[in-house]
Amino acid sequence: MDFSTSPRHRDIARRMAALGRDLQDPGLAERDRQGRFSRELWSTLARQRVHALTVAPEHGGEGFGALDLVFALEALAEHCEDTGLLFALAAHLCACLHPLARFGDPALQQRWLPAIVQEGQIGAHAITEAGAGSDINAMRCTATRDGDGYRLHGEKRYITNAPVCDFIVVHARTGAGKGFLDYSAFVLDSRTPGVQLSHKPHEKVGLRTTAMGDIRFDGAWVHASQRLGAEGNGGPIFQASMAWERSCLFAIYLGAMRRQLRRTCQHAETRVQFGQPLIAHQAIAHRIADMHVRLESARLACLKAAWELDHAQSGQDTPAMAKLLVSEASIRNGLDALHIHGASGVLEGDVERQLRNALPSTLFSGGNEVLKDQLLRQLRRELRHGTGQAR
């Protein structure tokens, strides 16, 4: 078991840290108030091919694996305060490009991936519905056969990047039942007739610089060649996307927590109360120590989950544990950072903004309560059969 960081991953982190510093935006506070996604900053990412990190080199990308992506997103997020921008990037990479690169046939990949890379396109992963969040079997959006293709009908809600997307990976029901193999995934241009994007993003508590909206499908036609994998393969595709989200997307919170911890330590060392720096008071020092422990524990889980993905050893439990640890650490560390900064933490700025950005993390990529139920079922199976002693 080797816990050292490879030269490749050190190089990735250095490159992404430098880019993160170049993404500093003096207008971030105003954009956050307005809930405005920055196309200009997205173009900066696209010029550096960061929006295509996971695309194979033959299609113009860098062919990053899961562990590569964790190091990249963590370093970007430590040095770029626009967590909403990086959330949009991570969702695009994990839930749009990954299923296209893994499940699309060569012809479909050749049709889409070079254009996405060259044109700086951004994707939206359309699966959530008003009545189907963590319970994807409640999905009502349908894809019905029509000639050599399908007609899409239904509405997707709360979709990351929907108001600004160029292409969509959509899941729709193709079977008559409500089981795991009764729906399929498709990729289509967002300008396809019958696709309606909500161009006014939802206003939300955090991640405000990520554009989130709804997508309506009114008989939009897609050719059968635009389907990812076989008909009825939507369940495994969705599971693979969620494994990547839970293992890799949450690295943006690791980077944000690293920046948060550094600034909180600096504040505690320079802010004097009762004749001493805050950090000399044990109650404050212990909060900072707890922040550090939570961050490092969450990071180890995230790295382990990504490593297992790269080595085809991961089920659903390790990514779920990583997501749980990172999301809950991010909120608790955000509360501690705000408390230690006192009145200055409550004022508009990176401290209060990162707490708000952390709040949705327990909801997306599977609600934390749902994931805990899944982990408990897996644990009980392992205990009954005497397995799981070594992972």
Rounded CA-CA distance 331/327 in Å is 7
**Residue 273, Cβ density class (10 Å: 0-12 exposed, 13-18 middle, ≥19 buried):** exposed
Specify the long-range contacts of residues 103-107, CB closer than 8 Å, at least 24 apart. 103/185, 103/228, 103/229, 103/233, 103/237, 103/240, 104/187, 104/228, 105/225, 107/225
| Whole-number CA gyration radius for the chain | 21
DSSP letters, 86-106, are: HHHHHHIIIIIIHHHHHHS-H
Residue 240's alpha-carbon distances to 11, 70, 233, 236, in angstroms, are: 27, 16, 11, 6
Helix axes 350-358, 317-341, angle to 10 degrees: 150
CB 220 within 8 A of CB 198: no
Which of 78, 81, 245, 352 is catalytic? The answer is: 245
Is residue 269 flagged as an active site residue? no
Look up residue 76 and give its two tokens. 């970007």
Active site residues: 245
